[in-house]
């Protein structure tokens, strides 16, 4: 996504309608940028953690009291059916049952929050150029009078780069990142919307694939030609040893594969010569 001058296809009411339309307009979904609220999430987890610590302490206290109770009461910690029946008449056991239910609710919320945070932590931050274009739209720079799309405290939602997340996880290798950051104008779609040019991630991916294939072929052919030009066997062996960074297991595997090919080649020549005789 890049900043360009263009004419919007359709006008939306400024605010949530226009921002939602802008986010949904990118077919590659690179504009699905939202705030993480890392500080709020961390505080919520800390609160749940402390609540569970208090609930656990309360349950331990009930266990200590039951340990000093008669044998009949101790049976409640071993027999679930008797424990449930005792909750009808025994306030102590009723309190224990209510505490168990509350622990279950808090523990479920705590672990779900941990899982959600774990998943969110794997989402990347938005690329710098995409974020610049997103802010260009959010602050309405194309109109000549910059003003945030959302008001009140929402105007600062996208100020902190480290607290933002993009939902579309992209495979950004160095070549892809270079083309997206410096050559995006070559891959933009035909139509610009809201002052933003939308490069096609599919076209960039195809270009990267073609360049990688050409590079791999050039390396392969270049290696063969270089070894062919060198006439000295010792020089060839020295070049291979110096330039090769493979592990020993890979070297042995390559040698075994080469030996297998030689066996097939030699056996084929022997069979041809015998038939010729």
68 lies in the same domain as 83: yes
Q: With respect to residue 63, please indicate whether it lies within any of the assigned structural domains.
A: yes
Q: What is the pLDDT of residue 262?
A: 74
Is the alpha carbon torsion for 75, 78, 82, 84 positive or negative?
positive
Residues 19 and 42 in one domain: no
- The model's pTM is 0.63
Residue 198 is predicted with a pLDDT of 62
**pLDDT tens over the chain, length 277 residues:** 555 444 444 577 888 888 888 888 877 788 889 999 999 999 999 999 999 999 999 999 888 888 888 887 788 777 888 888 888 888 888 888 899 999 999 999 999 999 999 999 888 888 887 888 888 888 877 666 778 888 898 888 888 888 999 987 666 677 777 776 677 667 666 455 555 566 667 777 788 888 888 888 888 888 778 877 888 878 877 877 777 777 788 878 888 887 887 777 767 655 555 555 5
- Residue 136 has what pLDDT? 84
State which of 70, 88, 121 marks the end of a domain: 121
191's enclosing H/E stretch is: none
Give me 108's structure tokens.
């479920």
State CA 53 to chain mean position distance. Answer: 32
Say how many domains are in the chain. 3
What was the pLDDT predicted at 5? 46
Domain co-membership, 72 together with 88: yes
Kindly state whether residue 190 falls inside one of the protein's structural domains: yes
Residues 7 and 55 in one domain: no
Residues 151 and 131 in one domain: yes
Domain boundary among 121, 141, 176: 121
Per the domain annotation, does 42 fall within a domain?
yes
In a domain, 225, yes or no: no
- Residue 32: count other Cβ atoms within 10 Å of its Cβ: 15
Do the domain assignments include residue 107?
yes
Q: Which domain holds residue 180?
A: 2-30+126-205
**Residue 2: its pLDDT value, please?**
53
pLDDT for the residue numbered 191: 52
- Nearest residue to 180 via CA among 207, 214, 162, 212: 207
Within a domain: 59:
yes
Claim to verify: residue 51 and residue 109 sit in the same structural domain = yes
Which residue, 149, 174, 205, sits at the end of a domain?
205
Alpha-carbon gap, residue 30 to 134, rounded angstroms: 10
């Amino acid at each position: 996504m890049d900043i360009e001058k263009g004419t919007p296809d359709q006008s939306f009411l400024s605010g949530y309608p226009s921002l939602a339309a802008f986010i949904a307009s990118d077919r590659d979904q690179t504009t699905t940028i939202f705030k993480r609220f890392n500080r709020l999430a961390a505080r919520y987890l800390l609160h749940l953690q402390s609540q569970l610590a208090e609930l656990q302490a309360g349950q331990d206290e009930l266990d200590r009291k039951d340990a000093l109770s008669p044998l009949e009461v101790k049976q409640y910690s071993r027999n679930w059916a008797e424990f449930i029946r005792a909750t009808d008449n025994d306030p102590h056991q009723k309190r224990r049952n209510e505490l168990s239910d509350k622990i279950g609710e808090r523990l479920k919320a705590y672990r779900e929050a941990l899982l959600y945070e774990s998943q969110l932590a794997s989402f990347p931050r938005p690329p710098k150029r995409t974020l610049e274009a997103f802010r260009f739209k959010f602050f309405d720079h194309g109109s000549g009078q910059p003003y945030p799309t959302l008001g009140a405290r929402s105007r600062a939602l996208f100020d902190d780069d480290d607290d933002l997340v993009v939902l579309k996880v992209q495979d950004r290798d160095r070549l892809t990142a270079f083309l997206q950051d410096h050559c995006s104008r070559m891959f933009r779609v035909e139509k610009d919307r809201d002052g933003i040019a939308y490069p096609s991630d599919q076209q960039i991916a195809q270009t990267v694939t073609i360049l990688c294939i050409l590079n791999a072929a050039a390396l392969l052919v270049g290696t063969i030609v270089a070894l062919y030009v060198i006439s000295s066997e010792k020089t060839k062996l020295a070049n291979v040893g110096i330039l090769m960074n493979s592990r020993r297991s890979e070297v042995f595997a390559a040698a075994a594969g080469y030996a297998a090919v030689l066996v097939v080649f030699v056996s084929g020549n022997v069979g041809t010569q015998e038939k010729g005789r």
